[in-house]
Each structure stands twice: as structure tokens, then as C-alpha cells.
Amino acid sequence: MQYPTILLRTFCAFFVALLLLGKTCIAQFPYSQFGVSLCGPEFGQDQIPGILNKDYVYPRTDEVNYFANKGVSIVQLPFRWERLQKQLGAELDMEEVNRMKTLIYDCEFRGLMVILNMHNFGRYKSRGEELVLGSAQLPIKYLRDFWKKMAIAFKANKNIYAFDIMNEPHDLGENVWFNAAQQTIWGIREINSTLTVMVEGDHYANANVWEKFSDNLKYLKDPSNKIVFNAHCYFDHDVSGRYTKSYEHEGAHEQIGVQRVKPFIDWIKKNGVKGYVGEFGVPRNDARWLPILENFLEYLTANHISGSYWAAGPWWKNYPLSLEPVNGQDQPQMAVYTKYINSSNNVAKNNTFKNTPPQAIQLNSYSAR
């Protein structure tokens, strides 16, 4: 009789289809879990371009494996602009590009998506001088040029989820960051129409004062409608993430993380856009920080917002916020974090709120070409 065989084959085909569909969904919506920043390529900012493995380093395969085994699905990779493009407007340094691709391939092998994050704060160092984005020495056309070339260089890497076009821009002048972000989005779209573009807020991407310094970013235009706004959130007294004082002297309490990130999430909801918290973390030197982290992650999850913990990496075993294991032992923060990186409730693929955004203001006179 053929019916059992036919039914079995049909069931098997259906099961395989579900697996493939699940894989596709993960590729499209890597927000389904939280991530981690694997640091190293951005180190040595006073030694530019620097020497590999002396001034800066790339994460190792075993680190990728560790976090993949923990359930992480996104790796943020910070890097310095000056190492990928040693002169403004020049071609990319292919040796550095290939180092980055090696890490990206390691992540792809383990099923991890990657966010490439320019860790330059709206600056570029040239011959010992720090040039400021939007100045005569560093026109915004150079940021657009860089990311357009990156879009070409990495177009074949399908596990790159997003380009985070600038980490923590600050003190650039009125509308400079808005204009730079808009130009960069247009440049990327000349090459790649599907890649997500992450835009961090002005004033160090501070979640607590997002609307004050970054409200104009809601008027950015993307023909692909794939902008994600990236805020950072720390819980110490000056929101720097340095945690230089004791728990008491930092003014901490168990709901401070929720209070700090709420203004950003409220802005996301009000304007019907997508959001991500690309940096957060607590020190390991006092267990009282852990409930703050847990309440913060619970609040993000309840609001369908994900993010990446700051941070880990081969040279940060002694860094107080680090998730990097030491001698095979997990850091204390990992016990809290694993509850959320494996949580099926974190469905940030639905984190576009349906409120109608306000009418857009007229963009300035910069052209799209």
C-alpha cells in the first residue's frame, strides 16, 4: 500500500520546509535574540593605523564559538575608519578587509549575523590630527564614500545584517549628523538596497536624552525603509559606562536601567520606527548590578526591542563589564544574559510600532548624488 509512504514523504517534505523557513526568518530577523560586541579591531586609537596583535586585534574563532553556544545570534564588530581606509577618499585596505571577512566567515559558519560598527565618534585621525566630521577638513562626503565602498566590498557576505555608520557621534554642530547620515544612506543604497542601516543618535547615542539631541533623525529618508535607530544605555551616574564609583555613589537602584532607556523606547513608539540598544552593560564587582541588568532586559523584551551587550573580546578579560570568559569560567553577568539571549519572547522583528509619524520636514539642499 502506497499511502503510508506518501504520507511519510509529505511529512518529511513539510518538516524540511519548516526548517528552511525558520532559517530564512532568522536571516531576515536576527533581532529574535540579543547580541554581543566582540571588540579588538577598534583598539589602539592612539596608534593609528597601528600594528595587528600589538595595538589592535581581531576576535578569535573560539570566542565566536563560545557566544554562539550561549545562544547569541548577533555579533557587533567595532572597527576604526582609519584602518580600513588609510587616506580619506582612497580605496579600502584589502588586507584589513580580508581580516574582517575572516571573522565574518567564522560567524556565518556558526549561523551568526554581523553588524559592522565604525567606532570613530564623528572623527578621523590623519597625521596625528583629529578631524571632525562636517568640518572643512572632513566633509561629510568622505563618510558617504567610505560606506559606499564598504557596501561594494561586503556585498557578497550574506550574514551582514547592518552597517552601523558611526558610533556615538557628538559635538559636530547643528544638523551635521543628520546631513551626514542622510548622505551615507543614499550612498549605501546606490550599491545595496537590502542591507539595514543603523543610525546612532547624536550626543553619544544617549538613550536617556534621545529626543532632545536626536529627534530630527526621524526625518531621515531611506528608499528601502530599512533604518534602525541605535541608542546606548549605561546605568552609572554620568551614563558613560565607566562605573568609576561604588554602587551607592553611582546613585544606582534596581529600576535605573528602565528609567534610562524609556525615553528612547517612547520615541520609537511615538514615531513608528525601529530601534535597537547597541550598548549596555554592568560591572561584575557588585552583585547588586545584576538585578538592574535583569530588569532592563525584561523591559526591552516586553517592548520588543533587542540589543547587544558591551562587551567582550580577547583583550578584555579584566574589563569590569566584560562577558569574556576567564579560564573557561563564565562571567557573573552571563548568568542573567543567557535568560534573554535564548528567550523566545524577544520578537523584535515586530518592533515597528504602527503610530503614524509626524509630517516630515523639508530636507536640506544636499542632493542624493
**189: three-class secondary structure by DSSP:** helix
Distances (CA, A) of 45 to 86, 130, 264, 304, 320: 14, 11, 29, 35, 20
pLDDT at site 342: 73
State pLDDT tens for residues 8-38: 343 344 333 433 333 333 333 344 479 999 9
Q: Tell whether the model's pLDDT for residue 237 goes beyond 90.
A: yes
Give first-to-last CA distance, the chain, whole Å.
Answer: 67
Stated pTM of the model:
0.85
Whether the per-residue pLDDT at 216 is higher than 70: the answer is: yes
pLDDT digits (tens, 9 = 90+) for 113-153: 999 999 999 999 999 899 999 999 999 999 999 999 999 99
What is the C-alpha separation between 77 and 86, in angstroms, rounded? 19
Read off the pLDDT of each residue in 50-74 and give the average, rounded to a whole number. Answer: 95
**Residue whose C-alpha cell is 572623527:** 123
What's the confidence (pLDDT) of residue 343?
Answer: 65
* pLDDT interval class at 316 (50, 70, 90): confident
pLDDT of residue 169: 98
Whether 323 and 337 have beta carbons less than 8 Å apart is answered as: yes
Question: The domain 31-350 is classified under which CATH number: 3.20.20.80, 1.10.10.10, 1.10.4190.10, 3.30.365.10?
Answer: 3.20.20.80
Q: Cell 566582540 appears where? A: 38
Q: Give the pLDDT score at 20.
A: 39
Instruction: Extract the runs of DSSP E, i.e. beta strands, from the chain.
Output: 35-38, 74-79, 113-118, 123-126, 129-132, 160-164, 196-200, 227-232, 274-279, 306-312
Give the pLDDT of residue 312: 96
Share of the chain above pLDDT 90, in %: 81
The pLDDT, as a whole number, for residue 8 is 39
Does the structure show a pLDDT above 50 at 209?
yes
Rounded mean pLDDT, 312-324: 92
pLDDT confidence of 318, banded at 50, 70, 90? confident
What percentage of residues in the chain have a pLDDT greater than 70? 84
Task: Give me the pLDDT at residue 272, please.
Answer: 97
Active site residues: 168, 279
How high is the pLDDT of residue 30? 41
> How would residue 163 be classed by pLDDT, with cut points 50, 70 and 90?
very high
| Mean pLDDT of the chain, nearest integer | 87
Residue 344 has pLDDT above 60, yes or no: no
The residue assigned the cell 568640518 is: 135
Q: Domain residue spans in the chain?
A: 31-350
pLDDT at 178 over 80: yes
Residue 86 clears pLDDT 50, i.e. is over it: yes
Over range 49-70, report the average pLDDT. Answer: 96
Work out the pLDDT band at 317, boundaries 50, 70, 90: confident
Task: Please check whether residue 323 is in contact with residue 333, taking contact to mean a CB–CB distance below 8 angstroms.
Answer: yes
49 preceded by a cis bond (ω within 30 of 0): yes
Q: How confident is the model at residue 305 (pLDDT cuts 50, 70, 90)?
A: very high
Local structure of 75: helix, strand or coil: strand
Any idea which residue has 572632513 for its cell? Answer: 138
pLDDT at residue 47 in the model? 93
- 198, pLDDT greater than 70: yes
Residue 4 confidence (pLDDT): 39
